[in-house]
Each structure stands twice: as structure tokens, then as C-alpha cells.
């Protein structure tokens, strides 16, 4: 309880850091991180094709979504036999959940870290700059997230390409044993945007490393002030 009271008493809101690159870029990271995982998680799409039987034709709809374990998404295909009510259960192919869930996980943890550091920048700026430990830890974690954005965005970009292939109506029609005609391609603009947001986050987090580096003693020690000898002249 005493620790909480000390934290509350030490809180002092100062919006000044938002005018500096350190705080402003962190806000951009916070926003683009939300866009990255929000456009991936919760996605649901459909792929269509038409099956033509001797006496009728029916539309087949296959529903899929995050986390893109496509092999768990069944769809019903007419059997085209004597009974028009007979259907065969077929499944989409592929499991691309690992890259999608990894991407969303990086986004969620990045969002939490941005939130925590913004509270630190705006409410506990004195604590942040009091010792060199805060900026150094911030630099290491930010660099780690930049690397994670590179890996996760690349993996999810490849995973999305595979999802598009596996849900392409033309690919599904090629496996059809009856007379089939491909329908509309699934709407995946939201998922395309998620990959773009992932690489934008990579640029933001990697670029922010420089401004955090300037807060560390590594940068300050690289330009030590000139010593002044007796007499007022700087030492050679």
C-alpha cells in the first residue's frame, strides 16, 4: 500500500515529452501497433464457388478466419447423385496459425509496452531520467521489439500468401469432382493492411532506437565536455 501511495504521489503529468521525438514516436508506435494486431485478430472471411449438378446448381460457401487453422473449417459440397439432399463434408487445407498468432502476440505485447512507457514518459519523467538504467533498458527492449516486428511481419506476410492460395476459389475448384465454377475471391484487404502496419512498426521501432540512444550514457560519453585548464584556455 505504501509503495502504491508513493507512486501516486510521485506522478506528475507533463505533456512536454510528446513534443519531443522520444514521446511523439512512442505515440505513433502505440497507434500502429493497435492497427497491426486489430486488423489480424478477429478476421473472418468467406470463399465461394458454384457446383453444377444435372438437375440443379448450388453455391458452396467456405468460412474461415483467425487464427487460420483452415483444416478445421468444413464446408458442404453437393454429391450430385440421385438424392439432391446428399452433401459431402470437405475441409480447407493448411494450418497457418503459428505465424498469425505470433504476429498478434508481438502486437499485443508491443501495445502494453507502449502504454507503460508513455505513462513513464508523461508521469514519471524525473524517475526515467534520474539514472541511466531506465533509458538503457528502454533502448534494449525497443531494439528487441524492432527485431520481433521484422521476424513476425515477414512470417505473417508469407503465411498470408499461403492463406490466399489455400482459399482461392480456383484452387478449390481444381479439387472438385463435379462441374464447378469459381466464385469471388475472399476480401483480404484488412489482412494486407496488417502486413503493411507490421513493417511500418518495424520502421518506427527501429528509428526510435536512435532517439532513446541519445538519452543513454553511451551517447553522452561519446561527446565529453572539454576540460578547462587554469587560465581559462581549454585543454588541447
Q: Are 223 and 213 in contact (CB under 8 A)?
A: no
What pLDDT is attached to residue 230?
45
What pLDDT is attached to residue 83?
60
CA-closest candidate to residue 75, choices 103, 55, 37, 46: 46
Grid coordinates representing 38 are 486489430
CA-closest candidate to residue 128, choices 22, 2, 222, 31: 22
Place of cell 503493411: 196
The tens place of each residue's pLDDT in the chain, 236 residues long, gives 555 555 556 667 777 778 888 889 999 999 999 999 999 998 999 999 888 877 778 888 889 999 999 988 888 888 777 565 677 888 889 999 999 999 999 999 999 999 999 998 888 777 777 777 878 899 999 999 999 999 999 999 999 999 999 999 988 888 787 788 888 888 999 999 999 999 999 999 999 999 888 888 776 654 555 544 444 445 55
CA distance 149 to 152: 5
CA-closest candidate to residue 211, choices 87, 28, 3, 14: 28
What pLDDT is attached to residue 74?
87
What pLDDT is attached to residue 220?
60
Q: Are 142 and 22 in contact (CB under 8 A)?
A: no
Dihedral of the CA atoms 154, 158, 160, 162 (nearest 10)? -170
What pLDDT is attached to residue 224?
52
The pTM of this model reads 0.83
CA-closest candidate to residue 67, choices 160, 190, 170: 160
Amino acid at each position: 500500500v505504501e509503495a502504491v501511495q508513493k507512486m501516486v504521489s510521485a506522478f506528475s503529468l507533463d505533456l512536454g515529452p510528446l513534443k519531443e521525438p522520444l514521446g511523439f514516436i512512442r505515440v505513433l508506435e502505440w497507434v500502429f501497433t493497435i492497427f497491426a494486431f486489430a486488423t489480424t485478430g478477429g478476421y473472418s472471411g468467406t470463399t465461394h464457388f458454384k457446383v453444377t449438378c444435372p438437375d440443379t446448381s448450388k453455391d458452396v460457401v467456405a468460412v474461415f478466419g483467425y487464427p487460420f487453422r483452415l483444416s478445421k473449417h468444413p464446408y458442404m459440397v453437393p454429391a450430385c447423385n440421385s438424392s439432391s439432399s446428399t452433401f459431402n463434408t470437405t475441409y480447407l487445407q493448411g494450418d497457418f496459425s503459428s505465424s498469425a498468432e505470433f504476429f498478434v502476440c508481438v502486437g499485443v505485447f508491443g501495445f502494453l509496452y507502449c502504454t507503460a512507457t508513455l505513462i513513464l514518459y508523461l508521469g514519471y519523467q524525473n524517475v526515467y531520467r534520474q539514472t541511466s538504467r531506465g533509458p538503457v533498458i528502454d533502448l534494449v527492449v525497443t531494439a528487441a521489439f524492432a527485431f520481433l516486428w521484422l521476424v513476425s511481419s515477414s512470417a505473417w506476410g508469407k503465411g498470408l500468401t499461403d492463406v490466399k492460395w489455400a482459399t482461392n476459389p480456383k484452387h478449390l475448384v481444381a479439387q472438385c469432382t463435379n462441374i464447378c465454377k469459381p466464385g469471388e475471391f475472399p476480401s483480404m484487404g484488412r489482412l494486407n493492411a496488417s502486413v503493411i502496419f507490421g513493417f511500418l512498426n518495424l520502421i518506427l521501432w527501429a528509428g526510435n532506437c536512435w532517439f532513446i540512444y541519445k538519452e543513454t550514457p553511451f551517447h553522452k560519453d561519446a561527446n565529453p565536455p572539454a576540460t578547462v585548464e587554469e587560465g581559462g584556455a581549454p585543454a588541447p
